[in-house]
Amino acid sequence: MAKLNMVKALNLALMQEMERDPDVLVIGEDVGVDGGVFRVTEDLHRTYGSKRVIDSPLAEAGIIGASIGMALYGLKPVCEIQFSGFAFQCFHQIENHAARYRNRSQGRFHVPMVIRMPYGGGVRALEHHSESEEQFYAHIPGLKMVIPSGPRNARALLAAAIRDPDPVVFFEHKALYHAHKEDVPDESETMEIGRARVVREGDDLTLVAWGGMLRVAREAAETLEQEDGVGSDVIDLLTVAPLDRETIVRSVNKTGRVVIVHEAPRSFGPGAEIAASIMDGAFLSLEAPIARVTAHDVPFPGFAREKANVPDVARVVAAARDTLAY
């Protein structure tokens, strides 16, 4: 057991998976000698060499496309796209091919690869370095979309993603990389992909969040408990797709009130899909309209204005109070 931040926890997962399975390779821009711009791949190159830890040319479609070829051959590439905002230069490879080879070949081939991408705001960065785009990937049949919320689940989910026979897009929130440390077991650990977790329990309200928004939801739940005496279920989604509707529906059937928090823009975002699931599974239990607290439907506004765009505790608390008062 060691106290690790998310960067070190992710690094531990990569180290251990590469040790466990010689078919696991790491590929991306600056992932080798430099250890990655966020240091997630630090020391991998020194330990496993240039053939397994590949400093690729600066070309996202080439990285993902070549990794698809490796995966078709039977290897398990773990690709890093330096920032999720640059993934549109390989989006066609992900949608047209990574997600579809199993189907196109009717099971003759599959694509066991992981596409890691730092995402999210709050780090005072330039355009294309702060966005949240999970909805694009969650919408694609054949892909899985995973977003950890802390060091321990990041490590366990990354190990699970690497062992998954299907392609997994794995988002890492930049503001969480160094945010806090957790006890992470030394021995290898995985978590089931497709399962949400209830990380705080209460009977009055359900808060659904993931990635960088989880701590916002947790703090909002704490405030509501302290100031209003309101008990909240806080659900950490962990996997956006396939969505664990059962956990959400069970909670809303208990509480009757729900606030969904995400950092992606609102319209057609994951919150809409979650709301539809609640309508399907918990319609008769609802005591108030489903609320969403999200980024606005604007291009990321530059970090001078990001605080007004990314949901914070005050906005979540306000939305919860409206919901509770309905």
Asked whether position 68 contacts other proteins by CB under 8 A, the answer is yes
Q: What CA–CA distances, in Å, run from 300 to 124, 224, 270?
A: 12, 29, 17
Enumerate the active-site residues.
Answer: 129
CB of 272 to other proteins, least distance (A): 15
Asked whether position 138 contacts other proteins by CB under 8 A, the answer is no
Options 160-168, 177-185, 213-221, 314-322: segment touching other proteins (CB under 8 A): 160-168
- Provide the 3-class DSSP secondary structure of residue 153: helix
The answer to whether the peptide bond before residue 22 is cis (omega within 30 degrees of 0) is no
Which amino acid is located at 126 in the chain?
L
Options 72-80, 150-158, 294-302, 314-322: segment touching other proteins (CB under 8 A): 72-80
Options 6-14, 238-246, 260-268, 314-322: segment touching other proteins (CB under 8 A): 238-246
- Provide the 3-class DSSP secondary structure of residue 132: coil
Count of chain residues binding other proteins (CB under 8 A): 60
CB of 253 to other proteins, least distance (A): 6
Helices marked H in the chain? 6-20, 44-48, 60-73, 91-92, 101-104, 134-138, 151-163, 214-228, 245-255, 270-282, 313-325
The Cα 208–Cα 196 span in angstroms is 10
Out of 166, 182, 219, 312, the only residue in the binding site for other proteins (CB under 8 A) is: 166
Q: 9 vs 161, which CB is nearer to other proteins?
A: 161
Binding-site string for other proteins from residue 196 to residue 235, where x marks contact by CB under 8 A and - marks none: --------x-------------------------------
CB of 74 to other proteins, least distance (A): 7
The Cα 234–Cα 211 span in angstroms is 13
Q: 197 vs 245, which CB is nearer to other proteins?
A: 245
Give strand ranges (E) for 51-204. Answer: 53-55, 76-80, 114-119, 144-146, 168-173, 182-184, 197-200
Query: 169: how many CB neighbours lie within 10 A of its CB?
Result: 31
Give the binding site for other proteins (CB under 8 A).
25, 51, 56-57, 59, 61-62, 64-75, 77, 89, 92-93, 96-97, 101-110, 141-142, 144, 164-166, 194, 204, 242-243, 245-246, 249-250, 253, 256, 280-285, 287-288, 326
